Amino acid sequence: MKKLTKIVVSLFALSMLFTLFSTSSVVAAGESSVDVPGDTIQTQIQANNQVAFTFRQRTQLRFNSSVDIDIDINCDALRIGIKSFEIEIESDQDMQMNMTCTEEQSELGLLKGNTYQIRNRNRYRYQEGFCLQIQSNYSTQFQAKLKIQATNENRLGSWAFYDETSEEWIAVPTTIEDGYLIAETDHFSYWTILLLAPEDNIMLFIGLVSIIGIVAIVSIIYLKKRK
């Protein structure tokens, strides 16, 4: 009886190991990781296969696309440091892309610590140290999600792109999902993360407090009149 029990237990353990191995193999088939010792790489990203490029063991760029992409990447990882960026692309035809990642973009005035007046009249500060330039064959229609890992420093920030016509940075709606700051776009340009300037944060807080106070006073007056 004891021998039979040992055999059953052994068979169960082997089946569990086989199941785990098979599951791992399926997961690995859909994604891959590439270590890039330098700053550049030219490669093709195959459709429906997630791939993560880690430059100089510091900056990680992850891609997930519905189509094949021939891409040329230049990433200044030594200056950017440890960052995790991800892009998801939906398109109806294969694409060609050039991507450049830098800590700053001096020709656009994007320097760490600088403050910018945005079209919505709010002032934003650049602290992220990650600026992304993407170029593609623009005849291709696409939808993309830009994601960067949220931290204590940037979680109140917004994705913003540089409008070459008006020569200004424009903040776009940004959400936090699964630990990432996310924005959606149908065009490529210069993109980065901007933080609402401290003075505007204070004014926003004061404005919210004022609105709450007014609502509370009106509610009290209304309840008193009903009595």
- The sign of the dihedral angle between the CA atoms of 140, 133, 129, 112 is negative
Q: Is residue 209 part of a domain?
A: no
Number of separate domains in the chain: 1
On whether residue 7 sits in a domain, the answer given is no
Query: What's the pLDDT score for residue 139?
Result: 77
In a domain, 189, yes or no: yes
Q: Show the tokens assigned to 134.
A: 């993407």
Spatial contact of 149 and 84, defined as CB atoms under 8 Å apart: yes
Is residue 213 a part of any domain in this protein? no
Q: Would 142 be classed as within a structural domain? A: yes
From first to last of its 227 residues, the chain has per-residue pLDDT tens of 445 445 434 544 444 433 333 333 333 345 799 999 999 999 999 999 999 999 999 999 999 999 999 999 999 999 999 999 999 999 999 999 999 999 999 999 999 999 988 776 789 999 999 999 999 986 789 999 999 999 999 999 999 999 999 999 999 999 999 999 999 999 999 999 999 987 544 343 334 334 555 655 656 665 666 66
pLDDT at 221: 65
Is residue 71 one of the residues assigned to a domain?
A: yes
Angstrom distances, CA of residue 188 to CA of 57, 109, 114, 117, 178: 26, 19, 23, 22, 24
- The per-residue pLDDT for 183 is 98
- Domain membership of residue 69 (yes or no) is yes
- Assign residue 45 a region: left if phi > 0, alpha if psi is -120 to 50, beta otherwise? beta
pLDDT of residue 118: 79
Tokens of 17: 């190991």
What pLDDT is recorded for position 199? 54
Nearest to 166 by CA among 119, 124, 121: 119
Please check whether residue 15 lies inside any domain of the structure.
Answer: no
Domain with 140 in it? 32-196
Q: What is the pLDDT of residue 116?
A: 85
Stated as kind and residue range, the H or E segment containing 79 is: helix 77-80
